[in-house]
Amino acid sequence: MAKSSDKCSFCGRSRSEAEVLIAGINGNICQDCVAQAQIILSEEHSIKKPQRVKELKLMKPSEIKKYLDQYVIGQEEAKRILSVAVYNHYKRISQSTFKGGPGSNDDVEIEKSNIIIVGETGTGKTLLARTIAKMLHVPFAIADATVLTEAGYVGEDVESILVRLLQASDYDVKLAEQGIVFIDEIDKIARKSDNPSITRDVSGEGVQQALLKLLEGSVANVPPQGGRKHPEQKMIQINTEKILFIAGGAFDGIEKIIASRMRANVIGYSKNKEQVDIDKNNLMQYIAPPDLKKYGLIPEIVGRLPVVTFLSPLDKIALKRILNEPKNALVKQFTRLFEMDDIELTITDEALDLIVDKAIEFKLGARGLRSILEAILNDAMFELPSKKSVKELIVTHDYANEKLLKNPIARLKVA
């Protein structure tokens, strides 16, 4: 009988049965078990190995804006500011590998310029973020500020923002530390009142205080599985110093704050023509950090979002362009849907004008365009796939108006 030292510790084959028996300190392994182990390792490696993010490509601001132009109509100022910020973020990340020429000062440390985008609902804040996510070769995450609360209260901790970024980078910490985070609905965590209260503002000012350390750059302990449900998990440390934060919010009612400030600037004998000529239809373009502070953002967080830009309200011309021009335009999307059923969809220019007019009437911005199109085309999308003889659908003004009148959306009243 073969001794245990002459057997494979995994399959039990004796030295005579195995062509090769590799001896270890406390056991042996045959060549067949080595081969099987290699197969297991290859399978595990292919499943668990994260997909590496592509090599960082430094795009020029004009190239970034040109890409955004393919998907976002208008908003030229915001796209320019966003393009420069992303470009500078790339350069800042590569600063550690940059070697200055003669006379250069290598002690200069470039600080990140986090951005805040202010604009009405449906003007393209989230679309800009989503388009950048599609373009960039760095990890990107979108977080919703409305679900955040102070640590220890019902809701999510601010560190959950970094969990999403970590997931986007396949849990590669180095890659996550070079990423970009878009914090949506930042206005929803505005301080509710300047008056003292016996209750804590755990979802407003408390969240702003917690966000400070992330925005300015610090080492945060991030729970990889989401935190409170798994208190036993090992924390992952992420340095936010090289993470660019972009915040966005509708800031409903901030126009009154801007109007109050602008009127204050033109009172008295010192007013000049430049101050008097104010576009009252688009007060958002005059947004400034003091307006954000008065709205309810604490001074510390305003200071850590130094780049302030705005999105203009969309007029009729812009909304009509949104329907047709972008690569993923709504008309192109519905045309493709009908093509899958071998039906050619045509929407007349008059019908498009009606859709735009209704979107303006409902005050939903570009987001309302899809709701209106769905209301018009819903009957056709229900009936036509079953009618093999129908190969074409032409949506005229009368057809669109008839479908809208039959839909509950026609009863929508805007205050």
Whether residue 56 is contained in a domain is answered as no
Distance CA 364, CA 242 (A): 36
Q: Do 135 and 273 have their domain in common?
A: yes
Whether residue 106 is contained in a domain is answered as no
Whether residue 281 is contained in a domain is answered as yes
Give the chain's radius of gyration (CA, Å).
29
Q: Do 179 and 324 have their domain in common?
A: no
Distance CA 282, CA 120 (A): 11
Structural domain of residue 237, as residue ranges? 61-95+111-193+200-311
DSSP 52: P
Three state DSSP letters for 249-298: ECCCCHHHHHHHHHHHHCCCCCCCHHHHCCCHHHHHHHCCHHHHHHHCCC
pLDDT reported for residue 1: 44
Region 360-368 average pLDDT? 82
Position 51 confidence tier, pLDDT thresholds 50, 70, 90:
very low
User: 231-261 burial, b if ≥16 CB within 10 A, otherwise e?
Assistant: eeeeebebebebbbbbbbbbbeebbebbeee
More confident call, 287 vs 234: 287
- Residues 176-189 have pLDDT tens digits of 888 889 998 898 88
Region 297-309 average pLDDT? 91
Q: Do 141 and 271 have their domain in common?
A: yes
Q: Look up the CATH number of the domain holding residue 237.
A: 3.40.50.300
Q: Do 209 and 73 have their domain in common?
A: yes
What Å distances lie between residue 286 and 114, 152, 263, 314, CA to CA?
A: 19, 39, 12, 17
Position 52 confidence tier, pLDDT thresholds 50, 70, 90:
very low
237 contacts: CB under 8 Å, gap ≥ 6? 173, 219, 220, 221, 222
Residue 63 has pLDDT above 90, yes or no: yes
Q: Do 189 and 331 have their domain in common?
A: no
Q: Do 70 and 177 have their domain in common?
A: yes
Strands 244-249 and 21-23: unpaired
Residue 54 has pLDDT above 70, yes or no: no
Q: Do 367 and 302 have their domain in common?
A: no
Whether residue 188 is contained in a domain is answered as yes
Q: Do 40 and 137 have their domain in common?
A: no
What one-character-per-residue DSSP string does 142-197 give? EEEGGGB--TTSSSB-TTHHHHHHHHHTTT-HHHHTT-EEEEE-GGGGS-S-SS--
Region 303-331 average pLDDT? 90
- Residues 141-166 have pLDDT tens digits of 888 888 887 665 656 778 888 888 88
Q: Look up the CATH number of the domain holding residue 393.
A: 1.10.8.60
pLDDT reported for residue 202: 58
Region 49-77 average pLDDT? 77
Position 292 confidence tier, pLDDT thresholds 50, 70, 90:
very high
Region 186-194 average pLDDT? 77
Q: Do 68 and 173 have their domain in common?
A: yes
Whether residue 142 is contained in a domain is answered as yes
pLDDT reported for residue 393: 94
Whether residue 158 is contained in a domain is answered as yes
Region 98-113 average pLDDT? 60
Count of structural domains within the chain: 3
Residue with tokens 């335009």: 329
Spatial CA neighbour of 354 closest among 406, 411, 415, 398: 398
pLDDT reported for residue 227: 56
Residue 361 has pLDDT above 70, yes or no: yes
φ, ψ for residue 412, nearest 5 deg: -70, 125
Whether residue 102 is contained in a domain is answered as no
Whether residue 103 is contained in a domain is answered as no
As a whole number, the mean pLDDT across the chain is 81
